[in-house]
Structure 1
Amino acid sequence: MLEIDNINQVMLHFSLCKGLDATQRIMMGVILMEEPNVTLAELADRVGMKEKQKALFYASYAAIDLEQIIEDYKKLGIQWVSFFDASFPHYLRHIYDPPSLLFYKGNIDLLKENLLSVVGSRAHSRYAAEVLEAFVPRLIGNDFVLVSGLAKGVDTLTHQLTIKHSGKTVAVIGCGLDQCYPYENKVLQEVIAKEHLLLSEYPAGTKPLRHHFPMRNRIIAGISLGTLVIEAKYRSGSLITANIALKEGREVFAVPGNITSPFSGGTNDLIVQGATCVLSGEMLVENYLK
């Protein structure tokens, strides 16, 4: 029998286990809340785990000292919220592949505000910085909390300008909250964790592996009302975020750029394919985000 007095702790335990994915973790949580006396083996069967998965799951579940991990997380200042918690982002709960749990540092209440994701390429032109300088004050002046991924380039500028203009920002990262990537954003990450909100679906100690970032992008898009793409080359990672937003029925906005500039190839193409073209922060707020 499993104890489910605290569903967040149960989901934390599951999130640290091997052999199951986020969907299976959520399914287990649903079953447990409806049938508190179900066994671990019954849960594994009910969510369709294969024999190899089961072996990994059972071994890792038994090896986890949950009380010690909770104590370690307290020392690190890391908290968490599960899919079943009232504080879990409403919009994120309804995406195709929601995370079963989010780790966070900072003000979790920011997730209840009007969130707009702002993304763009790591390599960008001066034009991107000028656009952000024009857009950011207008957006935060209308009470939008700006979400980005703390990557180099447009993400970093978005967070920095939001803080500079006394706004609030959310950073979603592709590693554990005790890690820092890129390293040059260490101070910025610490400021966001202390005064804003730092999020990840990955447990402490998780390194910033390449495949984590497309998964991170679905959270950036998923918690937001819409996604604004400032500047992006063809095949930029920020276009992944935009495409996820489109698939989830969210608004996607793109800032047009010079047609001869490689930095604007992705954003111009988004507009051709149906993204909303925006020319100013005022236009974005007054016509689309009221």
Structure 2
Amino acid sequence: MKMNELTNFLIKCRLTMMISNQEMLKIIKISQNSDNLEQDAFLFLKDKWGWEKFNQFLPLFRSNDTSKILAINYLSDEYPDILREIYNPPALLFYRGNIKLLKTDCIAVVGAREATEYSYRCINGLVPKIKGKYTVVSGLAKGVDGWAHQAALNNYVDTIAIIGNCLDDYYPTHNKKLQDEIFKFGLVISEYPPGCHIRRWHFPQRNRIIAGVSQKVIITEAKERSGSLITAEIALQESRDVYAIPGRIGDSLSRGCNKLIEEGAIPLINFNEL
């Protein structure tokens, strides 16, 4: 089966909103030894789900139009090898922008949504130092994420936004202009198909992709329990280099970073060393 045919098949599956990432990974595995993917994939789904669920799925699958949707799958040439290594890698990624950026060396910059001027200064000192060496990756959230993307654009550094909503939505809404700029000058990717509503669990799921595409992960400010620490933990599990910017002992937004350093993260005190 040709790669674009496999991608198209997976998009149609995903648009039904009925199929899991693990099930799509299984279909990709089936495709590698199949002369008739639709027949073999449908047999797998019937066996897995039973007739009732499959009969709900089939008309949705048949009715889906994929003509204007851009995506890559796990086997695509554009899919980075480093992302294939993680636990539960995304079977399908929807995108807008320069997909070639996924194959560049990436450094993730993440932190608190309610970050302080300290993070803002650090990000704007850091990003110019990595120009020509890394693509800046983040999650397009309020605070550190948005500042990292904007600093990259301001300094003509490539940037990838990995979002927890579909590409047609803007979250948070005040980052709409920034997201549109990244569509034009960088890359925005998502696991979630057009029409998929935002769910709270999308964001920790998104974090595994941020860590997965990056050789290095930097945490600027974070509370002891936060999404940024989830990203850091995933990065450590996947043998990525994790850096934390030290902060004052009494500051709540520095506790997460200081704890990471205590547990073995690299203290980032010289931006020239990246």
TM-score by length of 1: 0.88
User: What is the Cα deviation at residue 39 of structure 1?
Assistant: 3.5
Residue 14 of structure 1, CA deviation? 2.2
Q: Does 1:180 align with 2:181?
A: no
Q: Say yes or no: does 1:145 pair with 2:135.
A: yes
Instruction: Please give the secondary structure, in 1, of the residue aligned with 2:48.
Output: coil
Q: 2:16 touches 2:60 (CA, 8 Å); kept in 1?
A: no
Q: Which moved more, 1:145-154 or 1:240-249?
A: 240-249
The corresponding residue for 1:288 is: none
Partner amino acid for 1:270?
L
Q: Give the residue type in structure 1 aligned to 2:56.
A: A
CA shift digits 1:128-168 (9 cap, x unpaired): 1111111111012x421000000000001000111111111
Match of residue 240 from structure 2: 250
Offset of residue 84 of structure 1? 1.4
**Residue of structure 2 in register with 1:201 after alignment:** 191
Q: Report the CA distance between 1:106 and its aligned residue.
A: 0.2
Within 1, Cα distance between the matches of 2:256 and 2:41? 47
Structure 2 distance, partners of 1:151, 1:57, is: 36
Deviations 1:73-108 (A, max 9, x none): x2xxx4100111111121111111111100000000
Percent of pairs identical after alignment?
37
The equivalent residue for 2:88 is: 97
**Alignment partner of 1:239 is 2:229:** yes
Number of the residue aligned with 2:11: 12
Tell me the secondary structure at the aligned position of residue 102 of structure 1: strand
1:124, distance to aligned residue in structure 2 (A): 1.2
SS in 1 for 2:66: helix
* Counterpart AA for 2:22: T
Instruction: Please give the secondary structure, in 2, of the residue aligned with 1:116.
Output: strand
2:56 corresponds to? 59
Counterpart of 1:39 in structure 2 is 40
Give me the whole-angstrom Cα distance separating, in 2, the residues matched to 1:234 and 1:123: 14
For the structure 1 residues 259 and 220, does the alpha-carbon distance in structure 2 shift closer, same or farther, using more than 3 Å as the test? Answer: same
Q: Which residue of 1 aligns with 2:20?
A: 21
Equivalent residue letter for 1:44: L
Question: Structure 1: where are the runs of 5+ without partners?
Answer: 286-290
Unaligned runs of 5+ in 2: none
Match of 1:69 in 2: 65
Aligned residues: 272
1:132 aligned to which of 123, 127, 147: 123
Amino acid at match of 2:245: V
Change (3 A) 1:203 1:18: closer
The Cα RMSD (Å) is 1.9
Contact kept? 1:226, 1:252, Cα under 8 Å:
yes
1:164-194 Cα offsets, whole Å, 9 max, x none, are 1111100011111000000000010001011
- 260-269 or 29-38: which moved more? 29-38
1:115–1:145: 8 Å Cα contact kept in structure 2?
Answer: yes
